[in-house]
Amino acid sequence: MRGWRRWLVGRARGVVVELGAGTGANLPLYDRDAVERLVLVEPSPAMRRRLAGPAADAGAEVVDATAERLPLADGTVDALAATLVLCSVPDLDRALAEAHRVLRPGGLLLLLEHVRAADPAHARRQDRLDPAWRRIAQGCHPNRDTLAHAAAAGFAIVEHHPVPVTMPGASLFPHVAAVAERR
């Protein structure tokens, strides 16, 4: 998975926002020569405390906000990264609308997410699992069709790749790495 994270955030240039930065797992993967400003959005106070040191070392800003309400001006961001976070935002469509709002035209949405299974039988299993999974996995939805939602929010999916996952039950949690451009 780290290789896919590196591939994804390595595309970030200019003013970059990362949603749900957590403990900063992606921080060492950004190209510091290409990133002018890095804003790490993290709504959890506990995660922000853990993130503070690594963010300061990387010269990044930590912001207390949610994906659905970004404290950034319209069209001021060149790239927005979300790695394993959009499955858990309470309002996916609102979060994608916010990403669209803050990204400049042609800006990149960089996604690494587990997504709805393409196989209908697996998708039905995800649907059945969703209510319990949300309760035990901090609001995570295993059945979101994130790429379809991104397209509906005004993004063109320009590249996407299945990400191999080796764990028991991996077929219930297909992952994808994708680059989408704000139209």
* pTM for the full predicted model: 0.95
- Give yes or no for a contact between 40 and 51, defined as CB atoms under 8 angstroms apart: yes
Give pLDDT, residue 159. 97
For the cut 80, the answer to whether the pLDDT of residue 177 exceeds it is yes
Q: What angle do CA 114, 119, 121 make, to 5 degrees?
A: 105
Q: In the structure encoding, which two tokens stand for residue 139, read together? A: 């609001």
Q: What angle do CA 139, 9, 109 make, to 5 degrees?
A: 65
For the cut 90, the answer to whether the pLDDT of residue 171 exceeds it is no
pLDDT mean over 149-168: 93
Taking only the tens place, the pLDDT of each residue in 7-45 is 999 999 999 999 999 999 999 999 999 999 999 999 999
Q: What angle do CA 51, 115, 48 make, to 5 degrees?
A: 10
- Give yes or no for a contact between 156 and 177, defined as CB atoms under 8 angstroms apart: no
pLDDT mean over 43-68: 97
3-state helix, strand, coil in the chain (%, to 5): 35, 30, 35
Amino acid at residue number 78:
D
Q: Which of 17-26, 43-52, 131-140, 147-156 has the lowest mean pLDDT?
A: 131-140
Taking only the tens place, the pLDDT of each residue in 83-105 is 999 999 999 999 999 999 999 99
Domain boundaries, the chain: 2-182
State the average pLDDT for the chain: 96
Cα 67 from Cα 21, distance rounded (Å): 11
**Band of the pLDDT at 120, cuts 50, 70, 90?**
very high
Give pLDDT, residue 85. 97
The fourth-level CATH superfamily of domain 2-182 is Vaccinia Virus protein VP39 (3.40.50.150)
